[in-house]
Amino acid sequence: MDAMKTSHVLLLTMLALGGLPHAGAAECLIPSKPGGGMDLTCKLAQKALHDQPGAPELMLSYLPGGVGAVAWHSVVSQRRSEANTLVTFSGGSVLNLALGKFGKADVDDVRWVAAFGADYGMVAVRADSPYKTLSDLLGAIKRNPKQVLIGMSGTVGSQDWIKMALLARMAGVDPRKLRFVALEGGGEQFIAMGAGHVQAVSGDTSEALLAARAGNVRVLAVLSEQRLPGALAGVRTAREQGYDVVWPVIRGVWMGPDVREADYRRWVKAFDGVESSPAFAEMRTQAGLYPFALTGDALTRYVKQSVDTYHRQARQFKLLREP
C-alpha cells in the first residue's frame, strides 16, 4: 500500500469534515478477547483514522463476556453520551439482539454509525483432518454426531450455531444432536481446533484467513453467493457442494444512545469519506473483508431488517416462541 497516498486521501476527508469530536483519544471497545472478527473490525477503523489531523487517536480496549452483552450493557447503562467511544459489532451481535440474549435490549437502544464491510460464514477443519469436503464432515456427523466437536462463538442460537444447523438439516441431521463447544470469538475457536479440542470450526472467512496464514487450516466451504476472490478463491461455496446456505456477516461500529446529534453525524460523515476512498478499499481487502458500506440512517434500517430475518430463522429452530 502507498502510505503517502492513504494519508493524503484521509487527510482531505477529515479537513472537509472540520474534524471529529476530539478529547485526546477515542476508544474502540471490542466485546471479545483479542483475535477474531471483532478485534479485526476495530483495528481496521484504527488503521483508517490513524494520525489524521482532526481525528482522535483510536485506542483499542477489550471487554469480553456474554458474546457482546457485557460491552452492550456497560455502554448503554454507564457511558451513554460518550462522543469518543465506538463499539464494534457484527451480524452475530444483531442476531443476539433478535434472540433476546442481551436481555430487554433493543436495536433502538444505541446509535448505529457505520458498517465497514462484510465477510461470510465458513466451515473449517485442521489441515491434517480426514474431512476433505463439506459432505465428508456432514457425513461423519450424520453417522455419529458425538464424534465431531464443533467450535463456535456463542451458544445454541448464535450465528455460528444457526449456520451449522442449516447445513446439518440439509444433510438430514437433527441440529439438536450437534455437539458444540462455546468459545469467545474466532481467535479462541482456531486455538481450540489447533490443540485438538474440537474437530471443526463454524466461523467467518476473515477469521479463517487470519488462522490459515500458518498453513494449518483447511476451509471446507464458504457461505457466500459465489466464490470469493483472493486467498479463498479455490474454496467452493456450500451451494456448489449441494447445500444452499448463504450467510453474510457485516462488521462495523455503534455508539451510545445519548451522544449529541452533531457528534454522531461527524462520525457518520467521517466513515462515509473513509469508505469511499480507494485506500480504504485496499485496507478492507487486506483485512479479509468484502465491500459493504452503510452508515447512519441506512445502516439503522438494514439492522432492523436483519432483526426481522433472524426472528424468522430462529422460529424455524424453535429458538423463539411463535408470535
- Cα–Cα distance for residue pair 107/91, rounded to 1 Å: 12
CATH code, domain carrying 167 = 3.40.190.10
- Cα–Cα distance for residue pair 159/216, rounded to 1 Å: 24
pLDDT for res 244: 95
Residue 255 forms part of a structural domain:
yes
* Nearest alpha-carbon partner for 96 in 46, 15, 157, 148: 157
**Between 141 and 40, whose confidence is greater?**
141
- Cα–Cα distance for residue pair 145/159, rounded to 1 Å: 20
Phi-psi region at 19: left, alpha or beta (left = phi > 0; alpha = psi -120 to 50): left
pLDDT for res 100: 86
pLDDT for res 76: 94
CATH code, domain carrying 68 = 3.40.190.150
Query: Which residues are paired to 117 by β-bridges?
Result: 251
- Cα–Cα distance for residue pair 155/274, rounded to 1 Å: 35
Domain that holds residue 71: 3-118+249-316
- The answer, yes or no, to whether residue 1 has pLDDT greater than 70, is no
Task: Find the mean pLDDT for residues 44-72.
Answer: 82
Name residues whose C-beta falls within 8 Å of residue 230's C-beta, 6 or more positions apart in sequence. 285, 288
At CB < 8 A and 24+ separation, what contacts does 141-146 make?
141/168, 141/171, 141/173, 141/178, 142/171, 142/172, 142/173, 145/173, 145/177, 145/178, 145/179, 146/179
- Range name among 65-74, 106-115, 129-138 with the lowest pLDDT average: 65-74
- Cα–Cα distance for residue pair 42/54, rounded to 1 Å: 19
Residue 321 forms part of a structural domain:
no
Q: Write down which residue in 209, 241, 273 finishes a domain.
A: 241
Task: Find the mean pLDDT for residues 283-308.
Answer: 90
Confidence of residue 253 (pLDDT cuts 50, 70, 90): very high
Q: Write down which residue in 181, 212, 241 finishes a domain.
A: 241
Task: Find the mean pLDDT for residues 289-302.
Answer: 92
Same domain, yes or no: 205 and 279: no
**Between 286 and 181, whose confidence is greater?**
181
- Cα–Cα distance for residue pair 100/94, rounded to 1 Å: 10
Same domain, yes or no: 40 and 89: yes
Tell me how crowded residue 294 is: count the other CB atoms within 10 A of its CB. Answer: 21
Task: Find the mean pLDDT for residues 224-246.
Answer: 93
pLDDT for res 313: 82
Task: Find the mean pLDDT for residues 68-77.
Answer: 92
Domain count, the chain: 2
φ, ψ of residue 216 in degrees (nearest 5): -110, 20
Confidence of residue 311 (pLDDT cuts 50, 70, 90): confident
Q: Write down which residue in 241, 269, 293 finishes a domain.
A: 241
**Between 184 and 201, whose confidence is greater?**
201
CA 69, 46, 60, 53 torsion-angle sign: negative
Q: Check residue 290 and report its DSSP letter.
A: B
Same domain, yes or no: 192 and 260: no
Locus of grid cell 458425538: 146
Distance between alpha carbon 220 and the CA centroid of its chain, in Å? 19
- Cα–Cα distance for residue pair 184/38, rounded to 1 Å: 11
Residue type, 28: C
Residues 86-123: pLDDT tens digits?
Answer: 999 988 889 888 888 888 899 999 999 999 889 899 99
